Each structure stands twice: as structure tokens, then as C-alpha cells.
Amino acid sequence: CNVDNKYIVHFPEERAIWSFGSGYGGNALLGKKCFALRIASAMARDQGWFAEHMLILGVTNPQGVKKYVAAAFPSACGKTNL
């Protein structure tokens, strides 16, 4: 562990992720998730296919009625911020 310097670095061109200075095991999983989100998009661009992710969204109106929507969204389109 290095409390002053922690890095998780992505290299989309090389399809690689480097982690330095962190003893937290969850960062290894974070790197894999980011691989799916960022590097897969670079691979899709290079290989001519489309990287996408699924979304299931539940919305409740003020009267308490909940509706669900399922859809496919491309990477980096703002699903997380939705």
C-alpha cells in the first residue's frame, strides 16, 4: 500500500489496466468493470462493432405508481448519471 500515491490507469490501445499503491482488493474488480466500459468501447471502435450495456430503470410517480423500462444503451452515454 502507498497512502500518498494510488493509481488505476487504463491503456485502451494496449487493452491493459495497471493498479499501483492500493491494498484494497475491490480495486481489482473496479479495473475489470472499467475494462468492460471503456476498453470494450475502444475495441468496438477498432473492430467495427458496437459496445452497449443494458439498463433497467424503475420510476415512481408522486402517487406511488412504479413503472419499469428496459433498454440497451451505448457505453459512455450517461446511464450512471441518469
Q: Which residues pair with 72 in a beta bridge?
A: 54
- Would you give the distance in Å from CA 26 to the centre of its chain? 14
Catalytic site includes residue 77: yes
Q: Which of 19, 71, 77, 79 is catalytic?
A: 77
Neighbours of 79 (CB within 10 A): 15
Closest Cα to residue 70, out of 80, 57, 81?
Answer: 57
CB 18 within 8 A of CB 46: no
Which residues are annotated as catalytic?
77
